């Protein structure tokens, strides 16, 4: 579904529809576009953790499979909107426009490609029937729970006030500083292995829950919001 050749074709189609000459020239560089698509697919698409668990357990009904693909489309659109803000901040230009840097080019390509991924998912969902095996394949290949593995394990959900607080702190505070970004990178490399090997053991919750509870309370007292959060 989200293979590189298909996304290249969709991205070029979207550029032809609403892009200007600079956009069209950019999309003729197929290797640049393919590299950008490959990097996006490595980054993974953030998706609700409960949906991923249900799909991997093979518990999706036909209707739920369609809803899952719609959720993937929405996640792609959300990513496109976030990159859009980053693009505006980096280039100071409206979209579409001439590019001021290669970084702005890459960001603009990301926007178009995420929209293309959403378009592909929408097309699949419009058929009204999506085999659950297809959804599982998409999720395993391209989707991930975007963060807080230990916290999700401790609190039992990716979507709860405690994890929303931690995810906000990650995105709004830690990511702003290089040392925070290094910590996040190390955390995402080590945390899944820790959870997979020890997450079901009693000592795991007893060890980490008091630490996380104190951290969450401190963050909330300092003004970090605990309401529903979409990343």
Indicate the length of the chain as a whole number. 231
User: Does the pLDDT of residue 147 top 50, yes or no?
Assistant: yes
Instruction: Decide if 41 contacts 1 (C-beta within 8 A).
Output: no
Q: Which two tokens stand for residue 44?
A: 């993974």
Write the pLDDT tens digit of every residue in 104-142. 667 777 787 888 888 888 888 887 777 777 777 777 777
Q: Can you give the pTM of this predicted structure?
A: 0.55
- Using 50, 70 and 90 to split pLDDT, how confident is the model at 211? very high
**Cis peptide leading into residue 96 (ω within 30°):** yes
Write the pLDDT tens digit of every residue in 44-102. 677 766 677 777 777 777 788 888 888 888 888 888 887 777 777 665 555 444 444 55
């Amino acid at each position: 579904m989200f293979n590189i050749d298909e996304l290249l074709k969709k991205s070029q189609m979207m550029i032809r529809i609403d892009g200007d000459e600079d956009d069209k020239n950019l999309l003729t560089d197929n290797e640049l576009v393919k590299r950008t698509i490959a990097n996006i697919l490595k980054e993974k698409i953030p998706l609700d953790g409960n949906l991923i668990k249900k799909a991997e357990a093979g518990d999706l009904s036909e209707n739920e499979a369609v809803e899952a693909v719609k959720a993937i489309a929405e996640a792609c659109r959300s990513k496109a909107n976030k990159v859009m803000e980053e693009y505006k901040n980096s280039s100071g230009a409206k979209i579409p426009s001439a590019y001021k840097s290669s970084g702005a080019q890459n960001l603009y390509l990301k926007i178009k490609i995420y929209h293309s991924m959403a378009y592909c998912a929408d097309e699949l969902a419009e058929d009204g029937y999506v085999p659950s095996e297809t959804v599982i394949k998409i999720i395993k290949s391209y989707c991930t729970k975007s963060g807080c593995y230990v916290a999700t394990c401790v609190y039992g959900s990716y979507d709860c006030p405690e994890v929303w607080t931690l995810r906000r702190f990650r995105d709004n505070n830690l990511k702003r500083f290089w040392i925070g970004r290094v910590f996040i990178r190390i955390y995402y490399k080590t945390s899944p292995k820790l959870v997979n090997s020890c997450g079901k053991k009693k000592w795991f919750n007893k060890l980490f829950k008091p630490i996380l509870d104190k951290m969450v309370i401190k963050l909330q007292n300092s003004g970090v919001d605990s309401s529903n959060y979409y990343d």
